[in-house]
Structures are given as structure tokens and as C-alpha cells.
């Protein structure tokens, strides 16, 4: 299988690269040919970098996005890897007083360009055993409890990232199977980096990704 692994930063890739023994951006593991793509942080960088790569390479069987995420859901443990099967571009729309109108309701975009679902046909016991998460993709991560409370009342997402929906969008446009794996680095609350578990999240992400790739063999 030809698998493209996508991450926003090299730091999120580093432990996986070490385990795979890759010094460059491609190699093989078990029966798979793997490419690694670092897109940069945010929706714009992700959509452009991934779109550019997929336009040049048309032999990809599966694309896996891996990275860290903040969790609204306290049942997810710090360092736990989850399978984000639903995602949305959260901030595209217009304010109407205290209310927010999403861009599809304004007639600016089709609903399918705001709301996305994981799409793949692979059979993988490791992946099936991961907790399912609903995500939102944001330009500004949340760190104000009043805003967080309002968001949870109206949308009730499990996790937030800065790239997930853009990843799904690019794969959807290219008609490719797509999986989004996220490891929980922190809870979404008043910002306090001392409570974050970045190293634990990134190392667990690498281990779980290796398990999934091996299980796909």
C-alpha cells in the first residue's frame, strides 16, 4: 500500500521518523511505501501543501493525518490517541449580534465544504479500537473559559486542531481515503502550558501510528 503521512510540524513527526529509521521524506515499512509531508501550521498551509503534493503524486492509496489536539472531552486522557471521524471549519461565517451564522447558512459555501467525515475502506483492528472524536478546526485555539462554555453548549466538540478540516477537504477533493489521528496534549481550558503533556502525546502518537501501519500489512 502507498501511504502518505501528513503532519503540521516536524516535531510531531520526529519520534515516528526515528522509529521508521527515515532520514528523508520517503521509505518503506513492512509491505508499505511511505511518504512523509510536513505542511506547516494552519488551514491555509495544510490545504496548499497537501493539494500541491497530491496534484503531483497520483498513486496514493491512503492518507493519514497525525498530530496533537486539545480536548474538550475530559474522558480522553492526556496522551491518548483518538480517531477524528468528523470535523468542521468552525469560524467561517458572520456574527449577528450575539449569534453566529455559519457560511453554509449564509449561502456562501456548500455544506460539504464546512463539515467533513473520515473516508476510508481499510480494515484495521488497532484503528477500530481507538475512541471516536468529533473535531473542530480553528485559527485561534480556545483559552477563555466563558468562550469555551458557550462553545460546548452550542457545538459540543471533543477536540480542536488547526488543520484537521483542511486535511479532510484536500483529501475529499482528491477523492482519497483519509484518516485523522490526534493525540491529546492538553485540555481546552484557561491557557496553562505547565499542564500540557506534549512529549507524552507525540511519543504515543508515533507508537500508535506504527501499530496501525503494521496492522494494515
Nearest in space to 183 (alpha carbons), one of 95, 84, 42, 41: 84
CA max distance for the chain: 56
N-terminal to C-terminal alpha carbon distance within the chain: 8
Q: What digits encode the pLDDT tens for the residues 20-74? A: 999 889 899 988 999 999 999 999 999 999 999 999 987 899 999 999 999 999 9
Taking alpha carbons only, the member of 11, 164, 184 closest to residue 82 is 184
Mean of pLDDT values over 79-86: 98
Domain that holds residue 67: 2-215
CATH number for 96: 3.40.50.1580
Give pLDDT tens digits for 114-145.
Answer: 899 999 989 999 999 999 999 999 999 999 88
What is the sign of the dihedral through the CA atoms of 193, 197, 199 and 203?
A: negative
Q: How many domains does the chain have?
A: 1
Distance CA 203, CA 24 (A): 20
Please list, residue by residue across 190-210, b when 16 or more beta carbons sit within 10 angstroms of its beta carbon and e when fewer do.
Answer: eeeeeebbbebbbbbbbebbb
- What pTM was estimated for this model as a whole? 0.93
Whole-number pLDDT of residue 217 = 67
Return all residues near 10 (Cβ < 8 A) that are at least 6 apart.
Answer: 38
Residue 157's alpha-carbon distances to 27, 109, 196, in angstroms, are 36, 22, 19
Instruction: For residue 199, give the C-alpha cell.
Output: 512529549
Averaged pLDDT for residues 188-208: 95
Amino acid at each position: 500500500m502507498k501511504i502518505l503521512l501528513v503532519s503540521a510540524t516536524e516535531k510531531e513527526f520526529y519520534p515516528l521518523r526515528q522509529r521508521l529509521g527515515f532520514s528523508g521524506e520517503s521509505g518503506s515499512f513492512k509491505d508499505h511505501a511511505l511518504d512523509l509531508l510536513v505542511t506547516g501550521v494552519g488551514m491555509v498551509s495544510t490545504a496548499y501543501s497537501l493539494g500541491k503534493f497530491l496534484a503531483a503524486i497520483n498513486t496514493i492509496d491512503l492518507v493519514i493525518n497525525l498530530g496533537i489536539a486539545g480536548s474538550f472531552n475530559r474522558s480522553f486522557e492526556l496522551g491518548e490517541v483518538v480517531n477524528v471521524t468528523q470535523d468542521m471549519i468552525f469560524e467561517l461565517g458572520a456574527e449577528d449580534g450575539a449569534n453566529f451564522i455559519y457560511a453554509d447558512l449564509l449561502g456562501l459555501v456548500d455544506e460539504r465544504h464546512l463539515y467533513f467525515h473520515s473516508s476510508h475502506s481499510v480494515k484495521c483492528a488497532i484503528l477500530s479500537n481507538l475512541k471516536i472524536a468529533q473535531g473542530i478546526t480553528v485559527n485561534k485555539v480556545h483559552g477563555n473559559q466563558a468562550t469555551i462554555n458557550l462553545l460546548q453548549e452550542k457545538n459540543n466538540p471533543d477536540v480542536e486542531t488547526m488543520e484537521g478540516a483542511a486535511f479532510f477537504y484536500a483529501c475529499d477533493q482528491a477523492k482519497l481515503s483519509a484518516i485523522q489521528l490526534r493525540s491529546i496534549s492538553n485540555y481546552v481550558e484557561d491557557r496553562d502550558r505547565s499542564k500540557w503533556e506534549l512529549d507524552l502525546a507525540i511519543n504515543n502518537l508515533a507508537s500508535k501510528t506504527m501499530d496501525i501501519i503494521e496492522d494494515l500489512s
